Structure 1
Amino acid sequence: MTPPPGARLVLATHNVHKVRELRAILSPFLPGLEPAAVVGAGDLGADEPVEDGVTFAENALIKARAMVAATGLPAVADDSGLCVDVLGGAPGVFSARWAGRHGDDRANLELLLAQLADVPARHRGAHFACAAALVTPAGLEVVEEGTMQGVLLTAPRGTGGFGYDPILQPVGESRSSAELSPAEKNAISHRGKAFAALVPHVVATLARAPR
């Protein structure tokens, strides 16, 4: 697989929402980096690997390693999900396919709300978790993690974000994650924290990469 001219980093995701969000998270830390230098796996028509890890970190590494093997470029990947206290941390790594079909956000959200319908507010604690991984052709592998604590609402609120954002109200907020602006969300989100920690490794990798 030949990456487009100028590409220097691959985001190992086919989720267009994640590509947009991850570019927004990375851009303040990488001034001067051309948008065309960062491409998504979907832009390359790359196949999605089987995510059979049992942790977010394992799945992030699976995706990043696959993109390095396919493109020869440094790759960044994340795996994230919603962990509900009363469900023992589920859906967890199964968040994207909780209702049975991968990526059906509405079905996943509706099933989870139905499962928690009788759970009172005091027991609706949950958090988003994210593991972000960088893998390079030279064999460097780095994983950073972040969380965003909150409580689950009984009905969706807001039109921003994606996935379970409309039903998680972050700690200290009166709004759901889907009611926050992208900048507000990125400043406190699990993904924002994980990628902020990963950025120094990404910057160092790109500084060494041929232009």
Structure 2
Amino acid sequence: MSGHGFHVHGPHDHELEHAAQAAHGGHEAGGGMTSQIAMATAIIATVGALFSYMGGATQANAGLYKNNAAIKKTEAANQWSYFQSKSTKQSLAEFARDLAPDDKRVAYQARIDRYEKEKDEIKLSAEKLEAESHEWDKSSDEQMHQHHRWAQATTVLQVSIALAAIALLTRKKWLEYAMFALAGVGLMLGGLAALHI
């Protein structure tokens, strides 16, 4: 360039001017596309990070709930073992009652009645623990289903971001549309996860 208004361009100067215009959202078609995809990618990545966090949280909850179910199942099994020991003692007391002389039968019958009452209480406790175990299992399954929904949503959003990069490199408008369509599917899946569907 000279000071008198006469411009001499090097072979690459023209391309640099166009690149600068595109980077600043100039009139070239790619400039608007670049800004639009960059903004959408940032939003999609942020939403994807939130979905990923929720997926991890629900997976942790599912494991915790499954552990609680196993604990309650073990407690129920312990109660059923206790019930069985009372049944065995009751059977022995019944056998002893039947073989005992008349004056001792009343004492054995009292034991039999006590064992029967204790067994009823133990049975109620065991059934309650089994019901709690079942509820924890059900909650764990629900959390795992929700985790899968969050994971699906996150995966679709990640594919959408990959399409955004390809769209920027190739400047193909249909890839940009595909990116937005996949982002919509990812948001829909995230909505299903949030609604526990």
In the superposition, the TM-score normalised over structure 1's length comes to: 0.21
Q: Which has the higher contact order (CA 8 A, sep 6+)?
A: 2
Higher strand proportion, which one? Answer: 1
Higher share in helix: 2
Task: Compare CA radii of gyration and give the structure with the larger one.
Answer: 2
